[in-house]
Structure 1
Amino acid sequence: MPSATYEVFRQAILQQKQVVCDYDGHPRELCPVILGHTSGEERVFAYQVGGSGSKGLPPGGAWRCLTLARVGRAALRDGPWREGSSHMREQTCVTEVELDINIHVRGRRL
């Protein structure tokens, strides 16, 4: 059974909404793109558009791989949907993909 946090990220992808949360003690503002599991752990591959992190946040945002067990206070919010300008390599964050905005959500609109 998915965690409550997993369900928040699932709804964010389906509705193209941002997620605000805490991760390892840092506030994050995210646009989640891929949701699923890796080695039994719930994970999300997301574009961080605001907040902070242990490595800082470059201007314009950065791709992040988050283990959902380490996410706190996740909530949906309206805001512009953003993603990085390009993928230089295939993501390895989520190996068992349940939901991918580019396939499952945007693919239905084509």
Structure 2
Amino acid sequence: MPSKAYVLLREAILTEQQVACTYDGRPRELCPHIIGHNKSGEEVVLAWQFAGASSGKLPQWRCLRLAHVSDISLREGRWHEGGSHRSEQTCVSTIDLDINIHVRKRR
């Protein structure tokens, strides 16, 4: 059974909503793009973080382990596509939902 964080982030992808959350104690604002599990079987999401706190410069791609995500809220707002896709993502090994494949291609 998926975690509450997984269900909410999956819904955000399907409805193209922004997400405000806390990750490892830092407030984050992001748009999730791909959700599923990593090689260890942990729930993960690949997201474009466009605002909030960060140890590096923003915006940037983030691979978040959902066990470390809390205080999640979905909100309306401009969908952020993210930067360059020059390399293949390695965050999500077993993809459940990818906005570019499962959501946008249905339209």
Same fold (TM over 0.5): yes
CA RMSD of aligned residues (A): 0.9
- TM, length-normalised to structure 1: 0.93
Indicate the residue corresponding to 2:47 in structure 1: 46
Give the C-alpha shift of residue 85 in structure 1. 3.1
2: CA distance, partners of 1:65 / 1:34: 10
Indicate the residue corresponding to 1:33 in structure 2: 33
Give unmatched runs, 5+ long, in structure 1.
Answer: none
Give the C-alpha shift of residue 83 in structure 1. 1.9
2: CA distance, partners of 1:43 / 1:14: 16
Give unmatched runs, 5+ long, in structure 2.
Answer: none
Indicate the residue corresponding to 1:56 in structure 2: 56
Give CA deviations for 1:6-51 in whole Å, capped at 9, x if unaligned.
0000000000001100001100001000000012100000000110
| Runs ≥4 residues deviating over 2 A | none
Q: Are positions 1:17 and 2:17 aligned together?
A: yes
Identity between Structure 1 and Structure 2 (%): 58
Equivalent pair of 2:45/2:91 in contact (CA under 8 Å): yes
Indicate the residue corresponding to 1:3 in structure 2: 3
Indicate the residue corresponding to 2:97 in structure 1: 99
